[in-house]
Chain A
């Protein structure tokens, strides 16, 4: 009897709905940190869900469905960003300044309210994504390098710059807010 249930290893629609109900806020937040764009983040989650559904036969019951979808969503967010601008993860020179923000982007930053997320605007795409994947998503440096099609040294440099900028900027933002 138990074997009959376990034989059907692929997740059911009900499990997908439950996963959305319990974890979609986290998937969305992760995608938003990477893309800094609500539409892209929503699309990334949507694509991740459909991808996970199509590949549900590959899902291993040893891990949690929510975790599996989270990882797919992060990958989808990265792919969507790359599709928008293929060269966006090219490492910038160490002293490069992040591109100026559009009024729409500034408004988005105000909505977010989270100090750290606001500080992300001072980072380049490569710095932000390396930091998010390493610090928030706990990827290995090698995994990040493979995903961004670069080498570990470049990822390290982007991470160092991100941490350096954030350590300077976060106290400034907090001072302004208080």
Chain B
């Protein structure tokens, strides 16, 4: 039995049922063949190492911009103000903003107390300054994505008051969906601290969904979020500048 057959057996593709059965039978009876297959498998397994390649920062920025432009051209952007999509996107942006603001705020915060109070009193765990996952360790694509959300969300939040048609609970569901999306992205990049903060935001979102939240309270929260968003975006950009200068 030649190596070509063993390669196809390894991939589980390109052999008939009978041929696979024949290989299995031969592997069971022939020790030298088993050894050859073991070496082949080790080689192929080793070829699966992921290359340590990150996408260039300017390319990532270009990809984000292309989606922004496409969304704007198609009228499908978050700021389109069209039908029920607008508030959905806007609140989605709000979620992203909330997530990013809390995550980045804690992440980049200096001299913060051991715990941080978010919005209406919910306490989130503070990110450890000595965390092995430093901001500069997160991929450019990740931080760039958060920045895009921050900027868009800042605009959308200011327009939230224009729409009062969509049930708040539905909007919050959308927010929570976005929230989990960013939490997952944070986990995938090893930024467990940010992911933890995102999880802590869920109760805040649930409170926002409450029917008895007055217009004044909602407006106050909206203004606070817009302010926080500005602060966090500025901090993030300052941090980037510092990193660039250091480099």
Q: Which chain A residues numbered 1 to 18 have a C-beta less than 8 Å away from chain B?
A: 1-2, 4-5, 8, 12-18
User: Which B residues lie within 8 Å of A80 (CB)?
Assistant: none
**Among the listed A5, A42, A113, which residue makes an inter-chain contact with B52, where contact means beta carbons less than 8 Å apart?**
A113
Residues of B within 8 A of A112 (CB): 51, 53
Residue of A nearest to B61 (CB): A20
Is B182 an interface residue, CB under 8 A from the partner? yes
Q: Contact partner of A29 among B50, B70, B76, CB < 8 A?
A: B50
Q: Which of A29, A152, A159 contacts B51 (CB 8 A)?
A: A29
Is A114 part of the binding interface, using a Cβ–Cβ cutoff of 8 Å? yes
Q: Is B189 close to A, CB under 8 A?
A: yes
Pick from B3, B67, B74: contact of A17, CB below 8 A: B67
The answer to the question of A167 belonging to the interface, with a C-beta cut-off of 8 Å to chain B, is yes
Interchain nearest-CB distance for A162 vs B (Å): 10
Cross-interface CB contact of B48 among A21, A50, A135, cutoff 8 Å:
A135
Q: Is B233 an interface residue (CB 8 A)?
A: no
Bound complex: CA A12 to CA B76 (Å): 8
Instruction: Collect the chain A residues with CB atoms within 8 Å of residue B185's CB.
Output: 18, 21-22
Residue-by-residue, is B55-84 near A (CB-CB < 8 Å gives 1, otherwise 0)?
110011011101110110010111000001
Contact of A20 among B8, B53, B63, B189 (CB under 8 A): B63
Query: Does more than half of chain A's interface fall in helix, strand or loop, or is it mixed?
Result: helix
Whether the Cβ atoms of A18 and B47 lie closer than 8 Å is: no
Name the residue on B nearest A21 (C-beta): B145
List of A residues within 8 angstroms of B56 by Cβ:
38, 42
Give complex CA distance A112, B49 in Å.
13
> Nearest chain A CB to B173's CB is how many angstroms away?
6
B203 on the interface (CB 8 Å rule)? Answer: no
Which residues of chain B have C-beta atoms less than 8 A from A163's C-beta? 3, 7, 43-44
Most buried by B among A1, A14, A29, A135: A14
Shortest C-beta distance, A69 to chain B (Å), equals: 10
Q: Is B96 positioned at the interface, with any CB of A under 8 Å from its CB?
A: yes
Q: Verify B78–A13 contact, CB threshold 8 A.
A: yes
CA distance A54 to B74 in the complex (A): 9
Q: Are A14 and B96 closer than 8 Å at their CB atoms?
A: yes
Bound-complex Cα distance A22 to B53 (A):
14
- A contact residues around B14 at 8 Å (CB): 141, 152, 156
Instruction: State whether A14 touches B64 (Cβ < 8 A).
Output: no
A34 interfacial contact with B, CB 8 Å: no
Residues of chain B with a CB closer than 8 A to A70's CB: none
Residue of A with least CB distance to B96: A14
Question: Apart from A14-B93, A22-B184, what 16 extra A-B contacts exist at CB < 8 Å?
Answer: A1-B169, A14-B89, A18-B145, A22-B142, A22-B185, A22-B189, A27-B55, A32-B51, A45-B55, A49-B63, A50-B70, A114-B49, A116-B49, A135-B48, A136-B48, A167-B43
Interface residues in chain A, defined as those with a beta carbon under 8 Å from any beta carbon in chain B? 1-2, 4-5, 8, 12-18, 20-22, 24-25, 27-29, 32-33, 38, 42, 45-46, 49-50, 53-54, 112-117, 134-136, 140-141, 152, 156, 159-160, 163-164, 166-167, 170
7 tightest CB-CB pairs across the interface, nearest first?
A21-B145, A114-B51, A22-B185, A28-B55, A13-B71, A42-B59, A24-B141
A-B contact pairs, 20 of them (CB 8 A): A1-B169, A5-B173, A8-B85, A12-B89, A14-B89, A14-B149, A18-B181, A22-B145, A22-B189, A32-B53, A45-B63, A112-B51, A114-B52, A116-B47, A140-B13, A163-B7, A163-B43, A163-B44, A166-B47, A167-B43
Taking beta carbons and an 8 Å cutoff, which residues of B are in contact with A? 3-4, 7-8, 11, 13-14, 40, 43-44, 46-56, 59-60, 62-64, 66-68, 70-71, 74, 76-78, 84-85, 88-89, 92-93, 96, 139, 141-142, 144-146, 148-149, 167, 169-170, 173-174, 177-178, 181-182, 184-185, 188-189
